Chains A and B, each alone.
Chain A
């Protein structure tokens, strides 16, 4: 038996989130006394063997160009073939956008119980129980999986990447691949910017900024920190900022290492999208803002005065004039 980890790629490059699931999968394999293997689909330009440093021993590469774009139906059948060939009892995905498309299908196809949104290693002391987030991060549930084959979709940024030594053996896998029914006709990327859902630091601002013309200092702070920018719902609804920056219950749910909220009161709907952040900093002139209750660090003060000083202090720390 083995643990099989799905390596997610975009345009031939291994996504950062894949390092996390490889580390997690290797750890689970060690826990179960088995080996960690991985699967990657489509053309890949990155060096796959070097992914061995995250603990994976063997990578099955289905290098069929039909698989360069995601069609969840086609992907599912290919992953099921590889899983059967390496006798995988546990299959691991990131619970990212592609993971959410594929893992549920594979669960049905392989009759494998799925824990979507896992946040911890499985507890195998009594059965197979995995902790996952529920109620939009306000609680967790322990989920027991009763099937022989199991699937875990790990929430992004829920597990620390472990880097060691090692080279993975990359083996081509020849699978039968269906013709896709989904045709990708365009890919539109917001170029050059840091991807919000993958960012380690996010600087977010709300109505306290008073108008879109004041976002310059937010962007400046974000740039200094190599952070992505985000905003609250009222800001996106008022078209001060694009909708793809909206974090919260109905926008993106994110889990960066550091979330800096400026002029955001912290309504429960907003918190639902950011409460998995490791460290939260709140800057608000209203000391009663509910966000302070969810924060690790806070400044009660006027954003227009605090932000430029904040940027300056970070520049000093980083030794940039």
Chain B
């Protein structure tokens, strides 16, 4: 089985969110970059688990980004995966990125394309669905469990107030979230091995972005907390009822 795992570079969860150039660009000054947690903990680790269960499995990683994305893809390779492909392009919109990933997927003939459920910067949740449509493959989103049986995958996906079990014949595209796999950290052997794993660089395919960011902003600051004395809970209830109209 051949698996393609989509890896995105995102600012660390605790990074300060600020903007420059008249609020049109994310301020990368001093920002620590990480593998998007959903791509790492759930999509990549799930692929590694599948390879551990069946050694004939091949895992390729793909990222769309300029050369400064390479430390992140090496870090992903340290966790696992056989080789990585970097499509040498600035990220534009979701459609542009999905087009690049779909092109790589077409070339590689994968049985399974795994993505994280969303990136923690753009929160689009769009790449998996777009890649699936570009490849005309089934798409199971927000999966919490994944098991293989023959050429079929049994996938549990989240629905409102519960879960649904889906069975689909591979190839398919799956987006992963909490539950799919347990987070791990790379060991020294993995880090050493990652240095010599192949990292191919390919040039982007033509695709026209359909959206552009015209500006960023920060939500208005909260007015400040209104504290109520611990022995006056009735006052809190009154405020919630009369002022906030929340109960």
Contacts and interface: CB of A to CB of B under 8 A. Distances in A.
Given A105-B130, A185-B166, A294 B222 contact: yes
A149 B94 CA distance: 16
Contact of B129 (A105, A143, A198, A201): A105
B163 to A, nearest CB: 5
B141 A97 contact: yes
A295 B160 CA distance: 27
A181 B230 CA distance: 57
Contact of A298 (B141, B213, B216, B227): B227
B148 interface: no
Nearest to B183: A250
B188 interface: no
Given A113-B211, A147-B210, A185-B167, A104 B41 contact: no
Interface stretch (B44-52, B83-91, B190-198, B239-247): B239-247
Chief secondary structure at chain B's binding surface: mixed
Interface residues of B, number: 78
Given A104-B126, A272-B13, A279-B240, A73 B178 contact: no
Given A295-B225, A298-B228, A313-B233, A201 B247 contact: yes
A70 to B, nearest CB: 8
Nearest to A228: B161
Given A73-B139, A144-B211, A297-B225, A246 B178 contact: yes
Contact of A182 (B14, B166, B179, B218): B166
A142 B214 contact: yes
Interface stretch (A27-35, A51-59, A60-68, A127-135): A127-135
Contacts of A142: 213-217
Contacts of B214: 129, 142-144
Interface band, chain A: 35 or more
**Dominant SS among interface residues on chain A:** mixed
Contact of A73 (B120, B132, B227): B132
Given A101-B141, A135-B17, A299-B227, A145 B210 contact: yes
Contact of A296 (B41, B211, B225): B225
Interface of B: 11, 13-14, 17, 19, 37-38, 41, 93-95, 98, 120-130, 132-134, 136-142, 154, 157-169, 178-179, 209-219, 222-223, 225-230, 233-234, 236-237, 239-241, 244, 246-247
